[in-house]
Amino acid sequence: MNETFPKGFLWGGAIAANQVEGGWNLDGKGLSVADVATYKPHVDNKDYSAHASITKEAIEQAMSDPSDQWYPKRRGIDFYHRYKEDLALFAEMGFKALRLSIAWTRLFPTGEELEPNKKGVEFYRNVFKEMKRLNIEPIVTLSHYEMPLSLSINYNGWVERRVIDDFVRFASVCINEFDEYVDYWLTFNEIDSIHRHPFTTAGILSELSEKGKEEQDVYQALHHQFVASSLVTKIAHEKNSKNKVGCMLTKLMTYPLTCAPIDVELTQKKNLENNFYADVQVKGEYPSMIEKDLENRGIFINMASDDREILKKHTVDFLSFSYYMSMAESGNPEAERTPGNTVLGVKNPYLPSTDWGWQIDPKGLKIALIELYDRYQVPLMIVENGMGAVDKIEEGKIHDAYRVAYFSEHFKQMKEAIDVGVNLIGYTSWAPIDLVSAGTSQVSKRYGFIYVDADDEGNGTYNRMKKDSFDWYKKIIQTNGASL
Ligand code: BG6
């Protein structure tokens, strides 16, 4: 058996514009849905839904508040000004790839302009130039929880079909302007999460939906995203044959709590639902059982006459996904529950959890890889995986052995999956540097190999510091996994 990962394996890290850049109102950038997300110190940090919920009133209040005090995503970690320093640190770790997103509102402040903001294009061109100089391959997400707020308010986000055109215009500019630098494109981050947080993902405010039609609107918006994703895939393929486009799924592994048939049945339902999104984007059609289920629930998706043909013709080249934890499922309503990545699931008694209650399950990653490869037979990429933890500085150092243990166990399982034949082409950790949490807007939920001196209120120097895990990951990349 080969000791190392496949030749050319894309080791690296992943970030998103709205969680790192800051500079929320600089150089012509417009407001995005992320810029109105508040840090809520009084909310239980394990209660995701309380963090994600937002009202029209809260949005209006945020829009008239020019400060960044309670809106940590407006600050990020100042990547906007410090990107050279951060890229240099990633290069020092030996990164082959960096997954990052382009903030739609830096290029199209309201989403409706016909021409892009030159300063926005210039910023990303400079970032990509620097990455090229450092030999870091960009993997670019076009939509990572940062759609223009204006589209959300005016059209209830992706619910209105016209947003497809706005997005395609934005994506085309990215594909054309950055053709020289970018080969790997991802359309929508965790496209399935539209059901769990419709505002962050798709700008949907349930208050704007007709009463009783809230769910219908979410499915309609999702359909528009599917179509947009296919249209963008087409454009990328036509632009340059080297372009590879991927979909991006939150891989939510669910196990039956016991072998009671009801637990198994409920688990099967969850897992089928989780695969639905990749089914559409990889196979090019809605699974017949999903269509039946929608019909049974009285949900009717409005489709244009050629939508199905578009979905079928322009499928993705590879499947990327995030993997953080697994959940159990049970027919017993009393079963103990625990939080995970934007979900609440049944607690698995065999698994430890992070400080935020997410269950740590490296073996689940191997199971996910095998299941996904068996089902889709396209190259796979893990584009998010990591643990949010409280880090302590001791005599100027951060000894994050828990993080090393987390990654090391996950990498071993990836290797085992590769050894049984899974075509895994890359891995980008979430996140290589501390950033603002998507769910809770905390910086103190730390993910990085690199520490950022900032707290949840925005105090600190924002200086960077290497944690112990920095050198450990550097060695993994240097030896292509042989040092595991
Ligand atoms: C994924 C998102 O769901 O989870 C990231 O794509 C996010 O944007 C990551 O940061 C971790 O979640 P959180 O809430 O801890 O930031």
**CA dist., res. 215 & res. 221, Å (int):** 10
- CB-hemisphere CA count at 13 Å for 307? 18
Catalytic, out of 146, 190, 210, 394? 190
Whether the CB-CB separation of 199 and 33 falls below 8 Å is answered with: yes
Structure tokens at 469: 């895990």
> CB of 21 closer than 6 A to ligand 1?
no
Tens of pLDDT along 243-273? 999 999 999 999 999 999 999 999 999 999 9
**Complex ipTM more than 0.90, yes or no:** yes
Q: Which atom of ligand 1 is nearest to the CA of 16?
A: 8
Q: Which atom of ligand 1 is nearest to the CA of 447?
A: 15
Pocket mutation for ligand 1, best pick of 44, 141, 437 (most atoms within 8 Å of C-beta): 437
Q: Output the pLDDT for position 206.
A: 87
Partners of 295 in the β-ladder: none
> CB of 189 closer than 6 A to ligand 1?
yes
**CA dist., res. 24 & res. 434, Å (int):** 18
The average pLDDT across 291-311 equals: 97
Q: Output the pLDDT for position 222.
A: 98
Atom 2 of ligand 1, nearest CA residue: 438
3-state SS of the chain is CCCCCCCCCEEEEECCHHHHCCCCCCCCCCCEHHHHCCCCCCCCCCCHHHHHCCCHHHHHHHHCCCCCCCCHHHHCCCHHHHHHHHHHHHHHCCCCEEEEECCHHHHCCCCCCCCCCHHHHHHHHHHHHHHHHCCCEEEEEEECCCCEHHHHHHHCHHHCCHHHHHHHHHHHHHHHHCCCCCCEEEEECCHHHHHCCHHHHHCCCHHHCCCCCHHHHHHHHHHHHHHHHHHHHHHHHHHCCCCEEEEEEECCEEEECCCCHHHHHHHHHHHHHHHHHHHHHHHCCCCHHHHHHHHHCCCCCCCCCCHHHHHHHCCCCEEEEECCCEEEECCCCCCCEEECCCCEEECCCCCCECCCCCECCHHHHHHHHHHHHHHHCCCEEEEECCCCECCCCECCECCCHHHHHHHHHHHHHHHHHHHCCCCEEEEEEECCECCCCCCCCCCCCECCCEEECCCCCCCCCCCEEECHHHHHHHHHHHCCCCCC
> CB of 31 closer than 6 A to ligand 1?
no
Tens of pLDDT along 198-226? 999 999 998 999 999 999 999 999 999 99
> CB of 146 closer than 6 A to ligand 1?
no
Integer Rg of the chain from CA: 21
Q: Output the pLDDT for position 455.
A: 95
Picking from 308, 438, 320, 425, the residue whose alpha carbon sits closest to that of residue 368 is: 320
Neighbouring C-beta atoms of residue 129, cutoff 10 Å: 12
Q: Is 180 a catalytic residue?
A: no
The average pLDDT across 116-124 equals: 98
> In one letter, which amino acid is 379?
P
Q: Output the pLDDT for position 47.
A: 81
**CA dist., res. 158 & res. 435, Å (int):** 27
Structure tokens at 131: 């990455």
Share of the chain above pLDDT 90, in %: 93
> CB of 48 closer than 6 A to ligand 1?
no
Atom 9 of ligand 1, nearest CA residue: 438
Whether the CB-CB separation of 246 and 316 falls below 8 Å is answered with: yes
Pocket mutation for ligand 1, best pick of 144, 248, 274, 341 (most atoms within 8 Å of C-beta): 341
Q: Which atom of ligand 1 is nearest to the CA of 189?
A: 6
**CB burial class (10 A; 0-12, 13-18, 19+) of residue 208?**
middle
Tens of pLDDT along 381-424? 999 999 999 999 999 999 999 999 999 999 999 999 999 999 99
Q: Is 273 a catalytic residue?
A: no
Q: Which atom of ligand 1 is nearest to the CA of 388?
A: 15
Topology (CATH) of 10-478: TIM Barrel (3.20.20)
How far, in Å, from the CA of 2 to the mean position of ligand 1? 33
Q: Which atom of ligand 1 is nearest to the CA of 386?
A: 11
Tens of pLDDT along 14-33? 999 999 999 999 999 999 99
Q: Which helix (H) or strand (E) holds 383?
A: strand 380-384
Q: Output the pLDDT for position 48.
A: 77
> CB of 16 closer than 6 A to ligand 1?
yes
Q: Output the pLDDT for position 80.
A: 98
Q: Which letter does DSSP use for residue 460 in this model?
A: S
In this prediction, residue 68 has a pLDDT band, given cuts at 50, 70 and 90, of confident
Tens of pLDDT along 450-463? 999 999 999 999 99
In this prediction, residue 69 has a pLDDT band, given cuts at 50, 70 and 90, of confident
Mean pLDDT of the chain: 96
> CB of 388 closer than 6 A to ligand 1?
yes
**CA dist., res. 2 & res. 238, Å (int):** 37
> In one letter, which amino acid is 293?
D
Neighbouring C-beta atoms of residue 302, cutoff 10 Å: 11
Q: Which letter does DSSP use for residue 150 in this model?
A: H
Tens of pLDDT along 128-145? 999 999 999 999 999 999
The average pLDDT across 113-138 equals: 98
Pocket mutation for ligand 1, best pick of 187, 195, 384 (most atoms within 8 Å of C-beta): 384
How far, in Å, from the CA of 388 to the mean position of ligand 1? 9
> In one letter, which amino acid is 425?
I
> CB of 217 closer than 6 A to ligand 1?
no
Q: Report domain extents, the chain.
A: 10-478
> CB of 437 closer than 6 A to ligand 1?
yes
> CB of 322 closer than 6 A to ligand 1?
yes
Q: What are phi and psi of 471, to 5 degrees?
A: -70, -30
Q: Output the pLDDT for position 1.
A: 56
- CB-hemisphere CA count at 13 Å for 322? 26
Q: Output the pLDDT for position 43.
A: 81
Share of the chain above pLDDT 70, in %: 100
DSSP symbols for 204-219: --GGGSPTT-HHHHHH
Structure tokens at 467: 């944690």
